[in-house]
Amino acid sequence: MPLGSRPGPPGPSPQLRELKETVRSLLGLDDDTAVMIRQLACTEPGCPPLETVVVVLPMEGAARRWTLHRPADRITEDDLRAALLATPEQHD
């Protein structure tokens, strides 16, 4: 086993890490705020096969969530900026 490798599921892809850092930068988030990005299968009629969900979890306050109706590998910084400017779904 190579140095630094560990058994178990692989970590996030470099692309998802880059999206996460872009979200963090665009929203001016501190290091205590968690950002999760997940690519999910969409089974609703008319929905693309994959959608990307961005969730921001601050230490204090409500979680915020945005859904982009495209796979993560097709999301640009401009797509993220436009989505993050829209009103997020609020979750307690």
For residue 1, the model assigns a pLDDT of 40
Using one digit for the tens of pLDDT, what is the confidence trace for 30-43?
999 999 999 999 78
Q: CA neighbours within 13 Å on the CB side: how many for 64?
A: 19
For residue 68, the model assigns a pLDDT of 92
Q: Which residues of the chain have pLDDT under 50?
A: 1-6, 8, 91-92
Q: Give pTM, 2 decimals.
A: 0.77
At a CB cut-off of 8 Å and minimum separation 6, what does 29 contact?
A: 23, 35, 56, 58
